[in-house]
Amino acid sequence: MRAILRFTLAESCPDPAEVLRSRDLPDAPDLPVRARGALEEALARFADLSEPRAVFEEIPATVFASVLGDVDADRSVVAHVFPRADALALFAATVGEPVCLEIRRLFARGDIVLGYMLDTVASVAADRLSDLTTVRFRDALGPRNSRRTRILPYSPGYCGWPTTGQGALFEQLQPGEIGITLNDSCLMWPLKSISGVLVAGPLAAHTFETDFPFCDACATRECRARLATAAAGDELWTS
């Protein structure tokens, strides 16, 4: 099962409160007037320039094992989790190139307030696309989806899955179809893109102890927050 997804602006564009919350900023009325204006302008530019798209493809566990290569379950959360999954899908999503070029242009010309706001809007939108892709994958599971099913995305770069893993992921998924490419360092272009694997299974399938080699050095513990959100039954954990 492979699907190319195109999203409407209403689906993909974050609301102002969501953007501000993502950066721990106060509600709009408490922001300086000029910053509020920049946020509104950033949302307008996002509306003009975004080309939100995604692709997902369901794969068997054996194929995902080959995508992971030598990333083993003792060193990576996703390698620990995926054997317990009911279903797996590789995915990639992007807000599109024009928005990313505009962010670069704004910073280059010193328009740092608008640049920062548009960067933030695009980051939140990319997470939103990941959420939306998760929902579409859930729909595609049909009768295999149940009330106990929790779908979480796992991405290269996080929790022991190196960014170099994106090479094998891209070879399998071929997201060039929606305009996402990799550079020599396995980094995505457009920058505001997200990729990984959607793991569908009961909450227990996603649960792990934070005793991986990288956990001590990690100051975020975001993995705990999203597991807690998944436990509460909220699929859109990034929102």
Strands (E), 119-169: 150-154
Residues 6+ apart with CB under 8 A from 166: 156, 157, 182, 186, 187, 188, 195
The distance of closest approach from Cβ of residue 189 to other proteins in the complex, given in angstroms and rounded to an integer, is 9
Tell whether the torsion through CA atoms of 62, 136, 96 and 196 is positive or negative.
negative
Which range touches other proteins (CB under 8 A), out of 54-62, 153-161, 203-211, 231-239?
A: 153-161
Question: Is residue 50 within 8 Å of 125, Cβ to Cβ?
Answer: yes
Q: Is 63 in the site for other proteins (CB under 8 A)?
A: no
Among 3, 16, 25, 167, binds other proteins (CB under 8 A): 25
Among 112, 225, 228, 236, binds other proteins (CB under 8 A): 112
Q: Is 188 in the site for other proteins (CB under 8 A)?
A: yes
Helix 33-49, helix 112-141: angle, nearest 10: 50
Which range touches other proteins (CB under 8 A), out of 5-13, 21-29, 50-58, 80-88?
A: 21-29
Q: Is 130 in the site for other proteins (CB under 8 A)?
A: no
The distance of closest approach from Cβ of residue 23 to other proteins in the complex, given in angstroms and rounded to an integer, is 7
Residues 6+ apart with CB under 8 A from 11: 52, 128, 132
- CA atoms in the 13 A half-sphere facing the CB of 188: 29
Among 65, 140, 186, 227, binds other proteins (CB under 8 A): 186
| Binding residues for other proteins (CB under 8 A) | 23, 25-26, 31-32, 34-35, 38, 107, 110-113, 115-117, 119-120, 123, 156-164, 183, 185-188, 191, 214, 217-220
